[in-house]
Amino acid sequence: MSQSGIITSIYKALTKQKALIALLAMMIGMLFSKTNFYSAYNILDMLNSSSILMILAYGVTFTIISGGCDLSIGGNLVVAGILAIKLLDVMPMWLAVMIAILFGAVVGFVNGFLVVHQKTEPFIITLGMGLLLTGIAQQLTDAHPLPAKNPDFMMISNGDFHGIPNLVIIMLTCLAISFWIMRYTQFGRNLYAIGGDYEVARYSGIDVIRTKWMGFVLSGIAASLAGVLLSSKLNTGSPVYGETTALVVNCGVVVGGTSFAGGIGGIPQSGLGLLVFGMLDNVMNMLGITSYYQVLLKGVAIVTIIWLDCFANKRKREAV
Amino acid sequence: MVGRSEMQEKKQIVKSARSILKNYLVLVMIAFLVLITAIVEPKFLSGSNLVNIMRQFGPLVMVSLGMTFVIIGGFIDLSVAGTINLVAVVTISLIQPLGQVPALLIGLLLGIVCGALNSVLILTSGALTQAEALFLTFGMSTIYSAFALLYSHGSTMHFWDISASKSIFEAIGSGNIGFFSVSFVLFLIFLGILWIFQSKTAEGRAIYLTGGNKTAARLSGIGIYRSIVEIYVICGFMAAVGAIVLFSRITTAAPVIGAGYETSAILAVVVGGTTLKGGNGSVLRTVMGVLLVVLISNCLDLLGVSSYMQYAVKGAILMLAIWLDNRKQA
């Protein structure tokens, strides 16, 4: 390939990947600041604090790629976390964690039944499911944080392996597994086909309902896993984290470049999308920006990136 | 022969009963709910409780009426929560320095500006799908909320700190005209205006066509861009009205006052029977939806169900309503 060919392909990749541009811009900007942004400690800390959202994002990507979306993850996250902590009192830890994750799978199954089998509007159904689960979470805890009594449970998220936090390792494992499922299995390729064109996928012999349904189950599993990890990280189960998490994660997936129209995007992109938010938080904290301005800048970042994304879609539509 | 025609008649009756049940499910649910609560808890039908329901009804119905147009137009607006936050803190803070009438007008104008900003973003980016609008307005909601926080420094403002005359707001919050509360009369006025706009004007009909099929609407010479601006401006304006009714009732304005209103409003609109696909629905249906949502809260309160469980019940009802609505279409 000639040199200009490489340059144009890099240019194309960059304009496609707005999340990457945002990340690079922040990293270059931080070169000129007198903070220890580039210390190993800070980088690990940043990854650590965005790990849970990234795990959520990997799950949601399965539903968005196939043309759906999942806004129930916030509720699922908190209920699974609270469930794990409640069950810790009466059973061994591994069983409590397994049951919490099974609960997430059931929630995903119900979402999938309503959205895929009954063909309802995904985002409003999952929004309702989120409300339902948030209510259950508040009822379970009486809206108070619920402390965990088992010290081993706390070590799941707070421990480290040769200096690398466990959460980062779990996040990377999830990344690898979901990347493999999405990229190299028949199931994953079928999800892309369904997102691209539902009818065409159906006529080419893909079991569309089962495949798409399975996507929702995976999203539920990821959400409950994230919930368990969050509870373990805070050592408490609290119902307050469910409120905006779902929108932020779905938004992050779209920021990463997975299109809501379905069929476009991938797991690593979703990770990058959420990393934009994580890095933005980190950078703003480093620069000592007050919390109200942080909210403002986050909003501006969301609007700008989504706006650019929509604008690119429009240009593509008009070009055809 | 006679027996067969009788059978057919019976079938006809069963069929029409079913279609009534399907089409007016919300009304049936409201009747059922009222009946059960009235039997279990006779206090439900007392005058003071009815006034209470009317007051609870006020803010949500205003926001939902605006949201109806956005959903009929095939879009969605999550920014109402941010708009309510911003309008509430700005309006209440301006009563003291500027007087109540300018404060009220500036508040309403701010709502219109917020709505117009949303529509400008959507038009310039060429976002034509609901999902794109969802995330753009979510971002805008964050921005408006941030402005509300910055403006108020995160503090709550109270009526009793204001020494200037605030009679308009007090009337909206707690005044009565005859049996009805002022906020209820305001609701009736807005409902009338919006209903006429929706069903009797060309602009209103254009919104339906835009929601039904944007390309077809554009090709048949309907200004879809104009419709999009209109729906968001109406939604922003009604959110501002809702904000004013809300803080007048509770006499305080915190910069997080509007949290949750976007979901409740969408819930009320959809439960009322306006489909998310756009192109059909009505403000009258939305009123039924809001009535159902408010009655659920009120009935569950009276029956002693915890406020946490009410979230869960709301979510379940939302899912049930959408599911049944979907089966009706299929």
Query: Could you give the ipTM of this predicted complex?
Result: 0.83
Domain count, chain A: 1
Question: Considering the domain boundaries, does residue B187 fall inside one?
Answer: yes
- Residue A188 belongs to domain with CATH number: 1.10.3470
Flag whether A279 is in a domain: yes
pLDDT of B3 above 70: no
| Residue B162 maps to a domain | yes
Q: For the packed helices A166-184 and A40-65, what is the interaxial angle rounded to 10 degrees? A: 30
**A139 interaction partners in chain B (CB closer than 8 Å):** 306, 308-309, 312
Q: Is residue B41 part of a domain?
A: no
Residue A59 pLDDT:
92
Cβ separation B315–A254 shorter than 8 A: no
3-state secondary structure of B157: strand
> By C-alpha distance, which of A55, A56, A53, A71 is closest to A115?
A71
For A160-193, what is each residue's pLDDT tens digit? Answer: 788 788 888 999 999 999 999 988 999 999 999 9
On whether residue A174 sits in a domain, the answer given is: yes
Q: Is B32 on the interface with A (CB under 8 A)?
A: no
CA distance to partner chain B, nearest, from residue A306 (Å): 6
Q: For residue B78, count other CB atoms closer than 10 A to its CB.
A: 23
Mean of pLDDT over chain B: 85
A 46-75 residues with CB below 8 A of B? 69
Position B2 in a domain: no
Tell me, yes or no, whether A21 lies in a domain: no
Task: Provide the total of helices (H) and of strands (E) in chain B, helices listed first.
Answer: 14, 4
Q: What is the pLDDT of residues B30-41, one digit of tens each?
A: 778 788 888 887
pLDDT band at B118; cut points 50, 70, 90: very high
Mean pLDDT value across residues B268-284 = 84
Alpha carbon of A201: minimum distance to chain B alpha carbons (Å): 21
Say if the Cβ atoms of B323 and A138 lie within 8 Å.
no
pTM of the model: 0.86
- Reply yes or no on whether the pLDDT at A109 is more than 80: yes
Can you give the pLDDT at residue B12? 80
| Residue A294, in any domain of the structure | no
Most confident of A216-220, B183-187, B274-278: A216-220
**Is A303 in contact with B143 (Cβ distance < 8 A)?**
yes
Judging contacts by C-beta atoms under 8 Å, the chain B residues touching residue A135 are 308-315
Q: How many domains does chain B have?
A: 1
Domain that holds residue B86: 48-262+274-280
Whole domain around residue A62: which residue ranges? Answer: 35-288
What's chain A's average pLDDT? 86
Give domain status of residue A312, yes or no: no
pLDDT at residue B23, as a whole number: 66
Under the banding of pLDDT at 50, 70 and 90, the label for residue B58 is: confident
Residues with Cβ < 8 Å from A307, sequence gap 6 or more?
B121, B124, B125, B136
- The reply to whether residue B124 touches residue A311, judged by beta carbons under 8 angstroms, is yes
Q: Is residue A275 assigned to a domain?
A: yes
Q: Which amino acid is at A174?
A: C
* Domain membership flag for residue B296: no
Of A73-87, A129-143, B4-18, B252-266, the one with minimum mean pLDDT is B4-18
Residues 181 through 220 of chain A touching chain B, CB cutoff 8 Å:
none
Q: Is B29 part of any domain?
A: no
Average pLDDT of the residues in B134-141: 89
Q: Which of A265, A232, A284, A271 is nearest to A51 (CA)?
A: A271
How many C-alpha atoms does A221 have within 13 Å on its Cβ side? Answer: 13
- A52 within a domain of the structure (yes/no): yes
Mutation target among B121, B318, B319 for the A interface, most CBs of A within 10 A: B319
Count of positions (residues) in chain B: 330
A70, A114, A310: best mutation site toward chain B, by most B Cβ within 10 Å?
A310
Asked if A312 reaches chain B (Cβ–Cβ under 8 Å), the answer is no
